Chains A and B, each alone.
Chain A
Amino acid sequence: MKYLSTLLCGLIFGFGLAVSQMSDPMKVLAFLDVTGDWDPSLLLVLGGAVTMTVIAFRFVLRMPRPFFESSFETPPAERITSRLIAGAGLFGVGWGLAGFCPGPGVVALSSLPLSAATFLAAFVLGSLLLAAIETKRTSGKDAFTKANQA
């Protein structure tokens, strides 16, 4: 049941990304292009999504446990670190260059196969790069496992 509902959630999420046009990189860039021909549509995408989650999460998180699992996952500690800011900052730059972020990249595989595949491959490379840098600093864990823990 857990697997079925996961597939379903992915389906709805992907459908929503396509309908909202978040999987259209030019639409995303038009939103980020505030000084140009600005298209604020993405604001409504995020607004709609967050409105739903702010309301629904309140109820969901009051449950003793999720329906098909024993407990809720623990979110990361509420610490605002330079790592967080640097990471988010770099993500934003990449987003502004490519017009894709991870989810839309997968959705766009059906409509912009070359661009989306390039993006996703580059995403993997970027993840590996960080893992390699971090592996140099710490000992023991290999780059792959490290990349997974991000």
Chain B
Amino acid sequence: MDHFTPLPALIGGCMIGIAASIYLSTTGRYAGLSGMLRSVAFPGDPDRRLDALFLLGLFTGGLLWMLPGSVLHHKISAPPLALVMTGGILVGFGTALGNGCTSGHGVCGLGRLSLRSLVAVVTFLTTGIITVYVVRHVMGLPS
């Protein structure tokens, strides 16, 4: 178990949950990020402006952490671009089909005790784990 960071994980997680809760209490909407991204990328959604604002906040919030603390951070990296691209297409397709991602089903869906979301979460965690296993340990690809 290398690099286990329980405290930042817990703190960050709680912030995410709090943000989603405040969002629900103020706008009455669930913070489902895949839906927000699509709403901004494609025309026709009445809540487009709201979603764009949330995403702007998201980006800025991340920046607020990354900039000052950059001296404390280890260098972060990403998987090979080919995997990122393929993965991205599947994430776009899958979240549209399944109506949500880790924030929609995970944070919000489980928050409202939805069995449907629980099924979704268990499913994507399972296929995610299997995928990494196959890519890293069966195919031996760097990822």
Contact = CB atoms under 8 A, between A and B. Distances in A.
Interface string A49-82: 1111110110011010111111111011011100
B13 A102 contact: no
Interface string A124-140: 11111111000000000
Please indicate which of the listed interface residues A11, A13, A79 has the most CB atoms of chain B within 10 Å of its own CB.
A13
Contact of B54 (A6, A20, A37, A68): A6
A72 B85 CA distance: 35
B45 A148 contact: yes
A40 B13 CA distance: 13
Interface string A11-24: 11111111111111
Contacts of A25: 76-79, 84
Interface in B1-30: 1-6, 8-30
Given A2-B26, A111-B76, A36 B136 contact: yes
Contacts of B143: 29, 97, 99
Given A15-B64, A32-B129, A97-B131, A103 B11 contact: no
Interface string A93-119: 111111111110111111110111011
B97 to A, nearest CB: 3
**B interface SS class:** helix
B55 A127 contact: no
A3 B132 contact: no
A48 B10 contact: yes
Contacts of B123: 85, 88-89, 92
A111 B66 contact: yes
Interface of B: 1-6, 8-31, 33-39, 41-45, 49-50, 53-67, 76-79, 81, 83-103, 105-116, 119-121, 123-133, 135-137, 143
